[in-house]
Amino acid sequence: MTADGVATGGDLAIGVDIGGTKCLALVLRGDTVIDESRRETPSADHLAEHLIDMVSAIEERLGCRVPVLGVGAPGLVTPDGVVRASPNLRDAADVALGKRLRDVGRWRVHVENDATAAAYAEWATGVARGSRHVMMVTLGTGIGGGWVVDGKVHRGAHGFAGEIGHMVIVANGTPCPCGKRGCWERYASGSALRQFSGGEDGEVVARRAARGDADALSVMQTFADWVALGLANLVNAFDPEVIVLGGGVVESADMFLPVVKDRLREHLYSSEQRPCPDVVAAKHGERSGAIGAALLGRLH
């Protein structure tokens, strides 16, 4: 009980993953998800209020306070929780999300890059448990990346590692909202898949392909090839033990992963002379980011 008589859930943690279109919030008791909710993502200047509102609704539903709030946000996130830039969030530039949530005075707050949070979740409690070198790749509105190197989350010298979606793979290629051209996420994100399929949702194309639809199969293969090309670049540079793919596309497409694996081997430098890292779907699916945010929130 707190001073004002409201019970506190001591082992509970809330994790929120801020996506390009939706925010997913969930509650962990231990490693188990006991509550889950979704709302549309507002513009960046309304983000803090929106999250406070969302979390308050969860606490009301649970009938107790939750001491830990972890948030996964796309783009550049500083170690103290400022969202510096995020082309897939409207108006995001220097949003002091961590401070605004901390100022409420109700939670221990930690804000993390969403894909880094997802990497942590898959490494700590998911498919990459026990691996020393993990590359997490989330295929959503954009492409996010998170790393575990030598058994530790790797955030880089300034906390901005993992912006793999903006790796240029086609110099002077398709323009990207980030201002550059030919970024990987223009060819291999969920949005790219939607574009390849004439506006159809990625999960719908994947289901059509799984039923044997020739057009959908061709779209999925082109898409898988672009995914694999970028993965090969990163494996060449970093040689991870395992690649974990997350995002809606991956969850719904059993035929997608085998094609990616196959094409990765072909794109990889000198692939016949080396082991190819395994490519696996995130155990926590689209929840990886939110689960990781909650778990990391506990640690901070």
Footprint on this chain of its own copies (rule: CB under 8 A): 75-76, 84-85, 87, 93-94, 131-133, 145, 147, 149-150, 152, 154-164, 166-171, 173, 178, 180, 229, 232-234, 236-241, 267, 269-270, 273-275, 277
At closest approach, how far in Å is the CB of 76 from its own copies? 6
Distance CA 36, CA 46 (A): 21
- Crossing angle between the packed helical segments 202-210 and 214-238, to the nearest 10 degrees: 110
Burial class for 282, CB neighbours closer than 10 Å (0-12, 13-18, 19+): buried
In the complex with its own copies, the residue whose CB is nearer, 157 or 214, is 157
At closest approach, how far in Å is the CB of 32 from its own copies? 31
In the complex with its own copies, the residue whose CB is nearer, 112 or 163, is 163
Order across the sheet with 68-73: list the strands: 32-40, 22-29, 12-18, 68-73, 108-113
In the complex with its own copies, the residue whose CB is nearer, 75 or 248, is 75
At closest approach, how far in Å is the CB of 42 from its own copies? 21
Task: Please check whether residue 195 is in contact with residue 185, taking contact to mean a CB–CB distance below 8 angstroms.
Answer: no
Q: What is the DSSP string of 240-257?
A: -SEEEEESHHHHT-TTHH
In the complex with its own copies, the residue whose CB is nearer, 179 or 198, is 179
Distance CA 121, CA 209 (A): 30
At closest approach, how far in Å is the CB of 236 from its own copies? 4
- Could you tell me the two tokens for 74? 């796309």
Burial class for 151, CB neighbours closer than 10 Å (0-12, 13-18, 19+): exposed
In the complex with its own copies, the residue whose CB is nearer, 49 or 239, is 239
- Could you tell me the two tokens for 5? 């008589």
In the complex with its own copies, the residue whose CB is nearer, 128 or 291, is 128
- Crossing angle between the packed helical segments 214-238 and 256-267, to the nearest 10 degrees: 50
At closest approach, how far in Å is the CB of 13 from its own copies? 26
In the complex with its own copies, the residue whose CB is nearer, 229 or 290, is 229
In the complex with its own copies, the residue whose CB is nearer, 64 or 160, is 160
Looking at residue 3, the DSSP 8-state letter turns out to be T
Of the candidates 193, 118, 18, 289, the one whose C-alpha atom is nearest the C-alpha of residue 185 is 193
At closest approach, how far in Å is the CB of 86 from its own copies? 8
Distance CA 140, CA 285 (A): 12
At closest approach, how far in Å is the CB of 170 from its own copies? 5
At closest approach, how far in Å is the CB of 272 from its own copies? 8
- Could you tell me the two tokens for 70? 């972890």
